[in-house]
Amino acid sequence: MTTVRGRPTTLTRGTVISLFISGMAISYFVAAVNRGDGEFVPLGIFALGMVVFGLLVVPTSWFVEGRRKAINRTMTGLVFSAFGFALIPLVSLVWTVIALGLARFDAQFFGSSMRNVVGAGGGALHAVIGTLEITLIAALISIPIGLLTSVYLVEYGRGRFSNWVTTMVDVMTGIPSIVAGLFAFAMFSLFFGPGVRMGFAGAVALSVLMIPVVVRSSEEMLRLVPNELREASLALGVPKWLTILRVVFPTAIGGLVTGIMIAIARVIGETAPLLIVAGFTQSMNYNPFSERMMTLPVFVYNSYSSQGTDAQAYIDRAWAGALTLIVIVMVLNLGARIVSRVLRPVGNH
């Protein structure tokens, strides 16, 4: 703590930490006094502690550092508090899913299906396989279309048609998921009859939701590439298509991969369109072009809504399925980070 003529003028980090600890201690004491026979809620204690910490640090800063620095600390504290409060529901959600999902997160859950299973036992192998296959097919459909559309809008699109494409992408971004399912159902019913149910139809429904996300994210990343890089490549006589492939894409690869992963995470948990066109089954089905195919979101919904005599077994399977979805999304995002770092141009490492 610096001083002027013996008077401190700046709060040290130790002082701020001490005030933070004091705020948390006061919050814990208030919770202990008022809890009665209830249980402690850690997130609630933390939220109250942040409020108490703000009430302690602002007057202290005003007295020690003056009005200007006190206002600065207040604004900084509001920013960090908003960030902390935004994390509370996320942390609560993840903690709840992990705590309740671990009860059935075992080898049997990932090594067996629900065929001929009533009550306890069984697993979600058929749903995991269905989710991976349908999402992979949806990605194979959506990623090329989305990337090529974004390339057109950024590199080639001019005039009324480009504006029309942009408008349609914006409209598709807000389409409800069940509308995408009805579209896929209507389209496949024309070719296979009104009772069609297959994994490929579910992939088409998911691709309708995924394409606009890929287009929008990729378009923004391609626009961030400096025009000087394009002009330098073109000045050397490199064709435009090769400039896009060898200069623009490698420069924006990190953002492109991140946008694709966001699009996959957007659709991997969809339930309504898959209920309509992919259906649900309790048996294994590795063929997305034939018969019904189970997915994890539908598995979670079906487990929760079809509780039999052993209701807890169904609920445990539902939470385990939700935890599996979170793990899959997390693995995909970590993989995307690794891929983007490997493919990033050498100068950007």
CATH superfamily for domain 110-348: MetI-like (1.10.3720.10)
Place of tokens 């671990």: 102
First to last CA, the chain: 39
CB of 138 within 8 A of CB of 203? yes
The mean of the pLDDT values for the chain is 83
CB atoms within 10 A of CB 20: 16
Rg (CA), the chain: 27
From 35, 61, 30, select the one nearest 46 (Cα to Cα).
30
- Please report the pLDDT score of residue 338 as a whole number: 81
Residue 104: what residue type?
R
- Please report the pLDDT score of residue 37 as a whole number: 53
Report the phi/psi class of residue 193: left, alpha or beta, with left for phi > 0 and alpha for psi in -120 to 50.
left
- Please report the pLDDT score of residue 112 as a whole number: 83
More confident residue, 310 or 22: 22
From 202, 183, 182, select the one nearest 287 (Cα to Cα).
202
- Please report the pLDDT score of residue 145 as a whole number: 93
CB atoms within 10 A of CB 196: 17
Write the DSSP string, 178-224: HHHHHHHHHHHHHHH-TT---HHHHHHHHHHHHHHHHHHHHHHHHHT
Q: Does the pLDDT at position 65 exceed 80?
A: no
Highest mean pLDDT: which of 190-194, 283-287, 316-320? 316-320
| Domain range annotation of the chain | 3-102, 110-348
Chain segment 202-226, per-residue pLDDT in tens:
999 999 999 999 999 899 889 888 8
Backbone torsions φ then ψ of 10, nearest 5 degrees: -140, 135
Mean pLDDT of 44-48: 76
Mean pLDDT of 10-31: 80
- Please report the pLDDT score of residue 328 as a whole number: 87
Q: Does pTM surpass 0.75?
A: yes
Chain segment 107-133, per-residue pLDDT in tens:
888 888 877 777 777 788 888 898 999
Place of tokens 């069984």: 122
Cα gap 53→20, rounded to integer Å: 5
pLDDT band at 143 (very low <50, low <70, confident <90, very high): very high
Quote the distance between the C-alpha of residue 66 and its chain's center. Answer: 43
- Please report the pLDDT score of residue 314 as a whole number: 83
Cα gap 107→125, rounded to integer Å: 10
CA dihedral 275→279→282→286, nearest 10 degrees, is -120
For the record, the structure tokens of 193 come out as: 């009859």
